[in-house]
Amino acid sequence: YSIFEKKKIDIFRVILGTENLKNFNLNNFFLRKNIIISLDFNGYEKKWFNKIKSLKKQPELIFMFVRKVGGRGIDWRKLKLLITYYRKFNCIMAGGIKYSNQIRMLKNMGFTGVIVSNLIHQHISRDIKSLDFNF
């Protein structure tokens, strides 16, 4: 934070990924603003569910499906359970989004945002390939 304060930058977000986070007292992280928790689904996510639900401050949450990154599909049933349980949080979905129409479906479910990279790369690659560079 001090780097941002020295440079007078106030538009930034810190994302805490649970994948490598060892400290289970998450309330310590919320002494400052702009904190997002990335709940990384990598086999250890169950221990974080109650920790996040019991936080004094309700952060934004990213549901990061690590094994689904690259457009490997969305577990819709799991997402419906998660968004129901964490509805009071601002929830962002990441990992598994393959088609642009899935973004609208996630919005209709109650997600406030998505993180997509492969979908964007696919569209950029497709558009670049269709350009004619012959003059």
Q: For residue 52, is it within any domain? A: yes
Q: For residue 135, is it within any domain? A: no
Q: For residue 77, is it within any domain? A: yes
Instruction: Order the strands of the 35-41 sheet from edge to edge.
Output: 14-17, 35-41, 60-65, 91-94, 113-115
Number of domains in the chain: 1
pLDDT in the model for residue 12: 74
pLDDT in the model for residue 23: 60
Range of the domain at 19: 2-130
Q: How far apart (Å, rounded) are the C-alpha atoms in residues 57 and 30?
A: 7
pLDDT in the model for residue 116: 81
Q: Which two tokens stand for residue 116?
A: 């997509």
Q: pLDDT tens digits, residue range 8-52?
A: 777 777 787 887 776 666 766 665 667 888 888 877 788 788 778
Confidence band (pLDDT; 50, 70, 90) for 111?
A: very high
Q: For residue 58, is it within any domain? A: yes
Q: For residue 24, is it within any domain? A: yes
CATH number for position 102: 3.20.20.70
Higher pLDDT, 132 or 37: 37
Q: pLDDT tens digits, residue range 51-106?
A: 787 777 778 889 988 888 877 889 899 899 888 888 778 899 998 888 888 989 99
pLDDT in the model for residue 129: 55
CB 106 within 8 A of CB 96: no
Percent of the chain at pLDDT above 90? 10
pTM of the predicted model as reported, rounded to 2 decimal places:
0.74
CB 82 within 8 A of CB 53: no
Question: Please, what is the average pLDDT of the chain?
Answer: 77
SS3 69: coil
Q: For residue 68, is it within any domain? A: yes
CB 30 within 8 A of CB 8: no
Q: How far apart (Å, rounded) are the C-alpha atoms in residues 68 and 108?
A: 21
DSSP assignment letter at 10: -
Q: For residue 69, is it within any domain? A: yes
Q: For residue 96, is it within any domain? A: yes
Residue type, 135: F
